[in-house]
Structure 1
Amino acid sequence: MLSGEGPPWAETVRGLARRVLGPVAESVRFAARDGDGREYAYEAAGGVLAISATDGVSASVALHHYLRERCGTSVGWDTVLPLALTSLPDAPPRQGAARVREGYYFNFCTFSYTMPYWDWADWEREIDWMALHGITMPLAVTGHEAALHAAYTAIGLDDRRIRSFLGGPGYLPFQFMGCLDGFAGPLSSSWIESHRELGARILDRERAFGMTPVLPAFTGHVPSELASTGRAGRRLWQGFETWVLDPADPLYEPIGAEIARAQIKLFGTDHLYAADPFIEMIPIDADPAFPGAVAAATLAGLQAADPDAVWLMQAWPFSYQREFWSEDRVNAFLDAIPDGRMIVADLWAEHDPLWGRFQEFSGKPWLWCALLNFGGRTDPGADLRGVPAGIDAALAAPSPPAGLGLSMEATRNNPVFFELVADQIWNEVPDLDAWLDAFVTQRYGARWTAELRAAWRGLLETVYDPRGLPILPQAFEGVITAAPSYERGPAELRADVAGLLWYRPQALATAWEQLIEVAERDPGLAAGPLGHDLVETGIAYLARVADRLCLDVLDSAGNPERVDRFLRVFEDLDRMLACRPEYTFRHWEAKAVSWAGDPDERAVLRDNARRIITVWGTSDSPLLDDYAGRHWAGLVGGYYRDRWELWARGLARALAGDPGAEAELRERLRERAELFLREGPDPAAPEPGDLAAESRRLLTAYAGSLAQPYEHDR
């Protein structure tokens, strides 16, 4: 049923349509629709597309479904826009209804590993993607530092101390979670002001679509001065020391309320707040009742500022530190919060679902979320076949999830996995092979359907079918991005390498060649998603080649010819990566320094951009070293290659039993890291070339490199 008035979201969705469709968007009409859930209807005739929907997100989904179903095209993270449509084909009436009420998006970490340096153009494109894919509940972290600055100013701290406490801009989300403070900064006043404005603009657009953003909240983490005046505990996270207030401290609730009030004043509120008072840190008191006391105090602070506050919490601690978080402790924590005041995000449900273990979180509304990516790692891989069954099982639970979510630590990787999850907010996927065939056609267009579907069948047979093997935060990711060491013995390294090759390498090589052939015959197609997928597939193959050649070096005790061949893989892969800007370190650092207002801020931004994807913390701490390792031009052929060359130089000594070889290697690696932090990558990094030509060159050079004993049938 159509209402008589134009919906308030129509102009916002019309703007999205213009950015996606170009001039043909003027032939799209929007109207309101009555409904209890999220619903839409569309029909096209005579070149006009009519969409009615209950809200702006549902209208955007309707537009995307029309494009996918009637025009054979989808809008992904790297689709070239506007689409090359000159008219809108007719379509019979079609109705759709969401399977769940909410589509959740982001993880605190995503704001460090993907978008710390985004500007409005980046965010506008991302919010459009969110709307088209049914995202209704995005985490909104940008600009929270302005709320913290305002709150701590009101409490009595001075500007310099607050900015020092907040630390570097690239690490702010970890500060918001209470993991660290005062690291890699200080934060500039200009950054706080510019990101206050950017955060407000992001929220305005999200709300204009009808989304309900989730804003950060107080976790108990405070500057040391405030901790010293009351009851507080010292915590350690990956070597970083922070201070957290005891919930019985008289400052706990007032500080939480002050931060919420400052945030509401700056950004408004939709009454949803994200706080993770434990995250990856054991509570400072082992009493089973203590987590419940933290819960009660956290909610009390929020409600003092916003009586309608609802707290969203990531369930990650219950998985990450499951030895501590017994069923009794989790239940005591959850029972301290009224059911209508908390939403639980089952953050890693595609691998370690907690909803069954904790009886759907004791009556709390909850979200089934897919994490997959840790730190922004660029190797492709996911269990595509396991996702629909996992979601269907959750939706069949006695208390099913209120929503489905994407909680990756970084975006712009493995798009097929995240598209598959997002699609199930609205659509059931009973047949993955049929879904994948449609995905391929919609991603690239219909011209090369047979060839590209064949390539993706090969990818589904290999990197996207791990058969239950876990994709873990600290798992071995291959030698390229791993810190070299002599402590991993030959047998251990061989087992690690073999464990990454659970498929027939020739099947992956064939899929890669099929993608290359299409890119050679249709160069324009490689400018969009095909180029991204071509690079990901090349990474998948060449990373395993590097693993194999590393073993050859080890088996030959550092034979110079084998060392040269091993290191050449790094140089060759670097050239291929340079063909796509998003796979270059240069692009990442340029985005960072674009925010610099003066030389001092430029130095901080450069340091943050270089540090978080290499040593992460300090160069002498191994705790998070290479956690966010990326296959990027400027890193692979420089930073990573140089480290393995140092390893190869000392290998003979290490194999001969020299006890000083490992210590010397560590010192050389520390020096190399310090050099990179000071000077960045080699300025003579390769210039962008032709991706299809580079890919063909590498396939020809390395196609036979993964021979026995690593090639095997299942």
Structure 2
Amino acid sequence: QKELQQKIVQRERELNMRPVLPAFAGHIPSGLKRLYPHLLTTNVSQWCDFSDQYQCTFLNPMDSLYSIIQKDYLKEQTKMYGTNHIYGIDCFNEVQPPSWNTDSLALISSHIYKSLKSADKDAIWLQMGWLFYNDASHWTTDRIKSYLHGVPQNKLLLLDYFCENTEIWQRTESFFGQPFIWCYLGNFGGNTMICSPLQKIDQLLTNTLKKAKQNFQGIGATLEGLDVNQFAYEFVFDKAWNVPFTCKAWINNLADRRLGKYDTIARQAWQLMYHHVLTASSFSPQGTLIESFPTLQNSKYELQNTYMNSSQQQSLIKTWQMLLAIKKYNRYTYKFDVINIGRQVLGNYFHQLRDSFTIAYQTNDSAKLKIVGHKMKSILADVDALVACDRTFSLKQWIDDARAIGINANEKDYYEKNARTLITVWGDKDILTDYARRGWAGLISNYYAPRWNMFIDEVIKCNSQSIQFNEKDFSIRCHKWGRKFIEPSTIISYPTEQNGIILAKKLFIKYFKH
């Protein structure tokens, strides 16, 4: 790993990039207090309902040991990787500082920077701005100002983390003069949901380029996964250049690149997507209802993250139809778009069917309940078959890559279990189940579909026996089933890869050619 990292930073520097390396952020094992009983420490606040065993101890930067550890840490790191003098430190990302007092926040940030400077006189501290968005009720303007002003001007670089949703620079007087980078997040957890508000991004970036103060340093991306909207990142970074373009021309050029040549229908399809589908921002987590936990009715939170309205769905169906009408094009990106858009269209239709299923249950329409339940199961199988036509959507590749890391059977099983856990239950608490949801071949048929099939069968059974479906009890049992899936001993079967264009045309006719 050390050798790989050395090669990465070497290549980055050859490309005139400036690698950001980590620095000591103050998180220590609690056992260190046995050696230094008088340390200034606090317990890090609980995160996402995880148990106390996962909490760590925070060493207050005002304690002299903080600077000693920082200096030793950076000395050893510089020996191995060199330095470009930019260091990432995020002490309070989704956890709370020891005190919300403004003077205390200023002292903490001041001592953090001093610890960096003691090891590297040219040090610049890179700080994510996610905490100011994620915990906005605590990170008030005056607290942010105190925290940022604890560091000399131009020695702290902020990532305005989720700008397509909330621009922190706008509510902090441009981060009170500290340099910042405007960032497009775009994806949480590697989720597979077609979404990217390109028109909004264009407006926000145009405004930032015109109105942000001189401390605006550039444009970045803070994605958690490259997902299925790669073109959105192309759009963002094209805005960084001083070459003006119209969105219409940019979308036309995108259509040409995806197809490999100019085509009127392809351009019209992408313009339709741009104007009527790509309007929503990403949220956490996000995907079609297929990848969501089975329920009769989604919460407001879940509905926001899984739903495209009927107008968006009709535009997406039309986009899919137009792309399928193009003849004799074998470019990979065209095939990917056909499969990806088809996956989203069918996932949206699955949501509509689930809503019909719920109404049938609530109105005691047994015949309709069975018919709709059968259609839901059919779509689950069809989407799994469709995404199997492109290895981008492959659970097998994910599992194989994880197992390849291990050098013996035990290690291979260890890495496979972690790989399965990450994209399903995520941790040992149900609160983050499906955070990294993905519409992948094999994951649908072996994880999402069995959950939905259990749900459909149980609701129909309850209806036939005139008893109420106990959603809470089902949820508990379904979560327990999910825990079994993460074990490598649970066999996974994978669908056979087919010709994606041919299958997509068959599925379009099956579901939408009336």
Give the TM-score of the pair, scaled to structure 2. 0.91
Asked if residue 609 in structure 1 is aligned to residue 413 in structure 2, the reply is: no
Asked if residue 669 in structure 1 is aligned to residue 478 in structure 2, the reply is: yes
* 1:367–1:402 contact (8 Å) kept in structure 2: yes
Q: Deviations over 1:304-360 (max 9, x none)?
A: 222211011111111111000011100000000011211111111122011111111
The aligned residue for residue 472 of structure 1 is: 283
The aligned residue for residue 123 of structure 1 is: none
Q: Deviations over 1:540-585 (max 9, x none)?
A: 2011111011112212227233212101111100011111111011
The aligned residue for residue 419 of structure 1 is: 234
Asked if residue 629 in structure 1 is aligned to residue 437 in structure 2, the reply is: yes
What does 1:268-287 align with in structure 2 at a 5 Å threshold? Answer: 268-287=82-101
How many Å separate the matches in 2 of 1:395 and 1:441? 28
What SS class does the counterpart of residue 260 from structure 1 fall into?
Answer: helix
What does 1:330-349 align with in structure 2 at a 5 Å threshold? Answer: 330-349=144-163
* 2:417–2:488 contact (8 Å) kept in structure 1: no
The aligned residue for residue 249 of structure 2 is: 434
The aligned residue for residue 297 of structure 1 is: 111
Deviation at 1:265, TM superposition (A): 1.3
Asked if residue 461 in structure 1 is aligned to residue 269 in structure 2, the reply is: no
Change (3 A) 1:398 1:482: closer
What does 1:132-211 align with in structure 2 at a 5 Å threshold? Answer: 195-211=1-17
The aligned residue for residue 504 of structure 2 is: 695
* 1:374–1:473 contact (8 Å) kept in structure 2: yes
Change (3 A) 1:496 1:408: closer
How many Å separate the matches in 1 of 2:309 and 2:229? 18
Change (3 A) 1:418 1:678: same
- Pairwise CA RMSD of aligned residues? 2.5
Q: Deviations over 1:156-186 (max 9, x none)?
A: xxxxxxxxxxxxxxxxxxxxxxxxxxxxxxx
* 1:610–1:680 contact (8 Å) kept in structure 2: no
Q: Deviations over 1:604-643 (max 9, x none)?
A: 211111111111101xx22211111000001112200111
What SS class does the counterpart of residue 6 from structure 2 fall into?
Answer: helix
* 1:639–1:676 contact (8 Å) kept in structure 2: yes
**What letter matches 1:531 in structure 2?**
K
* 1:379–1:539 contact (8 Å) kept in structure 2: no
Deviation at 1:502, TM superposition (A): 5.6
The aligned residue for residue 66 of structure 2 is: 252
How many Å separate the matches in 1 of 2:33 and 2:273? 53
Deviation at 1:487, TM superposition (A): 7.1
How many Å separate the matches in 1 of 2:306 and 2:486? 33
How many Å separate the matches in 1 of 2:195 and 2:341? 10
What SS class does the counterpart of residue 644 from structure 1 fall into?
Answer: helix
Asked if residue 406 in structure 1 is aligned to residue 406 in structure 2, the reply is: no
How many Å separate the matches in 2 of 1:345 and 1:323? 19
* 2:164–2:201 contact (8 Å) kept in structure 1: yes
Deviation at 1:225, TM superposition (A): 1.2
How many Å separate the matches in 2 of 1:364 and 1:494? 36
Asked if residue 513 in structure 1 is aligned to residue 299 in structure 2, the reply is: no
* 1:346–1:366 contact (8 Å) kept in structure 2: yes
Deviation at 1:670, TM superposition (A): 2.3
Deviation at 1:249, TM superposition (A): 2.7
What does 1:429-578 align with in structure 2 at a 5 Å threshold? Answer: 429-446=244-261, 448-466=262-280, 470-474=281-285, 477-485=287-295, 488=298, 500-501=308-309, 503-518=311-326, 521-522=328-329, 524-525=330-331, 528-557=332-361, 559-578=369-388
How many Å separate the matches in 1 of 2:394 and 2:274? 27
How many Å separate the matches in 2 of 1:681 and 1:260? 44
Q: Deviations over 1:380-437 (max 9, x none)?
A: 1111111122112112225142111111111142012111001112144442111111
Q: Deviations over 1:464-522 (max 9, x none)?
A: 134xxx432256x4421111235748xx699769952162533211211222233x522
How many Å separate the matches in 2 of 1:664 and 1:326? 41
What does 1:18-417 align with in structure 2 at a 5 Å threshold? Answer: 195-226=1-32, 229=37, 230-234=39-43, 235-240=45-50, 241-400=55-214, 401-417=216-232
What SS class does the counterpart of residue 556 from structure 1 fall into?
Answer: helix
Change (3 A) 1:374 1:496: closer
How many Å separate the matches in 2 of 1:423 and 1:681? 45
Q: Please, which runs of 5 or more residues in structure 1 have no aligned partner?
A: 1-194, 706-714
What SS class does the counterpart of residue 356 from structure 1 fall into?
Answer: helix
* 1:376–1:630 contact (8 Å) kept in structure 2: yes
What SS class does the counterpart of residue 182 from structure 2 fall into?
Answer: strand
Q: Deviations over 1:652-691 (max 9, x none)?
A: 5778997882343123212321221114775331121111
Change (3 A) 1:394 1:679: same
**What letter matches 1:662 in structure 2?**
E
Change (3 A) 1:257 1:239: farther
How many Å separate the matches in 1 of 2:77 and 2:468? 56
Q: Deviations over 1:131-152 (max 9, x none)?
A: xxxxxxxxxxxxxxxxxxxxxx
What SS class does the counterpart of residue 25 from structure 2 fall into?
Answer: coil
Aligned pairs, number: 498
How many Å separate the matches in 1 of 2:260 and 2:110? 53
Q: Deviations over 1:267-308 (max 9, x none)?
A: 111001111111111212232223222212222222222221
* 1:227–1:244 contact (8 Å) kept in structure 2: no
* Worse overlay, 283-292 or 637-646: 283-292
The structure carrying a bigger helix percent of its residues is 2
What SS class does the counterpart of residue 237 from structure 1 fall into?
Answer: coil
**What letter matches 1:350 in structure 2?**
E
Identity across aligned pairs (percent)?
26
Change (3 A) 1:625 1:495: closer
Q: Please, which runs of 5 or more residues in structure 2 have no aligned partner?
A: none
Change (3 A) 1:487 1:464: closer
Give the TM-score of the pair, scaled to structure 1. 0.66
How many Å separate the matches in 2 of 1:626 and 1:498? 12
